[in-house]
């Protein structure tokens, strides 16, 4: 039984992502009183699946892309707040539609969930991100850290998460403790924000939209951290990392040209079998 389960996760890293994101959503429903938002979650996930199914039919894409639509829907559910269900549907349409349209050499430029959040906030007055909805505390840190690290080691993007968190943490420490003279407890509270951890482990690490080369990912992660810090400190933007990722992602094709490397594949290649990898799988 255990062996079968491990084989299931090894076949496609998206299986682990779906399980982990769903577990976080269940945690919110059971422990953080999110049950009143069930219609929003249903619309977000359902609309993402509907859009992906349409793309499968119209563009003749593989059904495996529906797994990525579930991941996008879960990500939107965990981060995005909307006032109406119509706005939720709009976010899903932007996320999945943008993935199919905004591409560079077959690779989509923006993380679908990130694109859906940012453009929905810009286009409507009915959407926002609430950094405090997860609360804070050691238990939350352990929850995000342990579950997410397992997933990251599977898809090989732990370097992005820890580069971003380390760089952003150093900048925050320098400002909060060394410059402003506040206590380290304030700094720890800032870094244990649930939305920040969710972003660090599940959004910025998207293997389909991060740079291909390890060295490029390190520089890229530091750049996202620097932009996020400036937006939070100077512009006073809430959920600054999400906006920073959107801005820096525009330059991901440049990173891929400067540091060339093989693109990530969700499913490991099968020996002695020719595989046609469809570019729209996430």
* Helical spans, DSSP H, in 12-37: 13-31
pLDDT tens figures, 71-104: 999 999 999 999 999 999 999 999 999 998 998 8
Instruction: For the chain, give the percent of residues with pLDDT over 70.
Output: 85
* Cα–Cα distance for residue pair 3/246, rounded to 1 Å: 39
Task: Please give the average per-residue pLDDT across 56-71, as a whole number.
Answer: 89
pLDDT tens figures, 107-118: 889 999 999 999
* Cα–Cα distance for residue pair 262/213, rounded to 1 Å: 8
φ, ψ (nearest 5 deg) of residue 129: -115, 130
Task: Please give the average per-residue pLDDT across 177-186, as a whole number.
Answer: 93
Minimal CA–CA distance to 241: which of 195, 282, 182, 179? 195
CA angle 280, 244, 55 (to 5 degrees): 20
The tokens of 137 are what? 């505390």
**Which of 39-53, 123-137, 218-232 bottoms out in mean pLDDT, i.e. has the lowest?**
123-137
- Model pLDDT, residue 105: 85
String of DSSP letters for 220-247 = HHHHHHHHHHHIIIII--TTHHHHHHHH
Give one word for 281, left, alpha or beta, with left for phi > 0 and alpha for psi -120 to 50.
alpha
Give one word for 156, left, alpha or beta, with left for phi > 0 and alpha for psi -120 to 50.
left
* Cα–Cα distance for residue pair 34/256, rounded to 1 Å: 40
- Model pLDDT, residue 278: 38
- Model pLDDT, residue 272: 41
**Which of 4-13, 20-29, 133-142 bottoms out in mean pLDDT, i.e. has the lowest?**
133-142
Tell me the pTM: 0.88
Q: Is the pLDDT of residue 282 over 50?
A: no
Cβ 74 vs Cβ 40: under 8 Å: no
Cβ 18 vs Cβ 68: under 8 Å: no
* Cα–Cα distance for residue pair 246/224, rounded to 1 Å: 9
Domain spans in the chain, listed from the N-terminal domain onward: 7-129, 154-258
């Amino acid at each position: 039984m255990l062996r079968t389960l491990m084989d299931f996760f090894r076949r496609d890293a998206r299986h682990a992502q779906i399980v982990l994101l769903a577990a976080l959503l269940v945690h919110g429903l059971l422990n953080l009183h999110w049950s009143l938002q069930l219609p929003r979650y249903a619309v977000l996930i359902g609309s993402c699946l509907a859009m992906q199914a349409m793309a499968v039919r119209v563009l003749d894409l593989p059904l495996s892309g529906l797994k990525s639509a579930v991941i996008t829907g879960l990500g939107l559910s965990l981060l995005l707040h909307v006032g109406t269900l119509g706005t939720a549907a709009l976010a899903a349409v932007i996320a999945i539609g943008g993935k199919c349209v905004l591409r560079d050499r077959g690779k989509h430029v923006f993380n679908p969930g990130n694109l859906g959040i940012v453009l929905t906030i810009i286009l409507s007055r009915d959407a926002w991100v609430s950094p405090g909805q997860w609360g804070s505390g050691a238990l939350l840190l352990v929850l995000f850290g342990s579950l997410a690290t397992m997933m990251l080691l599977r898809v090989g993007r732990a370097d992005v998460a820890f580069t971003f968190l380390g760089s952003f943490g150093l900048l925050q420490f320098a400002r909060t403790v060394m410059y402003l003279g506040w206590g380290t407890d304030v700094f720890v509270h800032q870094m244990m924000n649930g939305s920040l951890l969710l972003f660090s482990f599940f959004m910025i690490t998207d293997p389909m939209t991060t740079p291909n080369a390890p060295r490029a990912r390190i520089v890229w992660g530091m750049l996202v951290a620097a932009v996020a810090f400036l937006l939070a400190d100077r512009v006073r933007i809430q959920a600054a990392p999400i906006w920073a990722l959107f801005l820096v992602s525009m330059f991901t094709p440049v990173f891929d040209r400067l540091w060339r490397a093989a693109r990530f594949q969700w499913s490991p290649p099968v020996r002695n079998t020719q595989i046609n990898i469809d570019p729209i799988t996430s």
